[in-house]
Structure 1
Amino acid sequence: MRKLTVDVRPGEYVIARLDPAVPVPSPLLDPGAAFVSVTRTERELSVVCSAAAAPEGVVAESGWRLLTVRGPLEFTLTGIMAALAGELAAAGVSLFAVSTYDTDHLLVKDADLSRAVTALRSAGHDVHEG
């Protein structure tokens, strides 16, 4: 596996579940917002966003930290997420993964952040804490 550069983004993030029939809350569509990921299926609307932007009154899991692989990553690259997930799993760190056009993002619980950073660095990756 090649050496990756991973940035630990500041702040707390939440992963929320909304009813699939509701529109995406407008504050999440603000181009000035921090990292936001919205995925709709026939059964749910899942949102990953900063804790400050989290919709109120929804099912949400808080206390996540965001790690972003510096990209862009070529679509032909293989094993990026598998390698990172494997390294974190070996360290006992669970994750929530999100991929975008340019790169991959991992969310880990704040309580596991130190172990995650140590595991990624031990595997030879360059991790920058912001």
Structure 2
Amino acid sequence: MPALTLHLLESPYAVCRLPAGAAAPSPQPGSFSLLIQAVEETTLVCPLDQAPSHAEIDSGWRCFRILQVFDFSTAGILASVLAPLARSGIGIFASSTFSTDYVLVKASDLDGAVEALTAAGHTVTA
């Protein structure tokens, strides 16, 4: 699996749960956010300061962005990040976009995550 460069985004993040079909606020430009409308709930991942006050909020997340862009047929990219985190007992929230992947870890696990990722041959930048 390739060595990757992961960039640690500056903001602390929140994972928010809203009722199914609930409208979620539009995120401010310039930051990563994710909106998932599922049958059972609406999930919003956003910078903590943008979390809607009426949502159930799980705060204290930090977000890594994989800087490389790979073709959809490239296997194992996300696994090369998740496996060392799993071996270190670090839980994650992962998401993919058309171009790359994002991996969130709890802020309390950040140092261990950076250590596990660098030990696996990845580079972490801030």
**Structural mapping, 1:36-47, within 5 Å:** 36-47=33-44
SS where residue 21 of structure 1 aligns? coil
Residue equivalent to 2:23: 23
- 81, 84, 87: which one aligns with 1:84: 81
Normalising to structure 2: TM-score of the pair?
0.95
**CA shift for structure 1 position 68:** 0.6
Three-state SS of the structure 1 residue aligned to 2:71 is coil
Query: 2: CA distance between counterparts of 1:43 and 1:13?
Result: 22
For 1:101-120, list aligned pairs within 5 A: 101-120=98-117
Number of residue equivalences: 126
1:49 aligns with 2:46: yes
Alignment partner, residue 70 of structure 1: 67
Tell me the CA shift for residue 33 of structure 1.
4.5
Note the residue ranges of structure 1 that are not aligned, 5 or more in a row: none
Q: What letter is aligned with 1:111?
A: S
CA distance in 1, matches of 2:5, 2:22: 37
Q: 1:71: how far off?
A: 2.7
- Three-state SS of the structure 1 residue aligned to 2:79 is helix
Structure 2 residue runs without a partner (length 5+) = none
Please tell me the residue identity of whatever aligns with 1:38.
L
Rounded Cα–Cα distance in structure 1 between residues aligned with 2:30 and 2:7? 18
Using a 3 Å threshold, how does the CA distance of structure 1 residues 33 and 56 change in structure 2: closer, same or farther? Answer: farther
Which secondary structure state, in structure 2, belongs to the residue aligned with residue 114 of structure 1? helix
1:6 aligned partner = 6
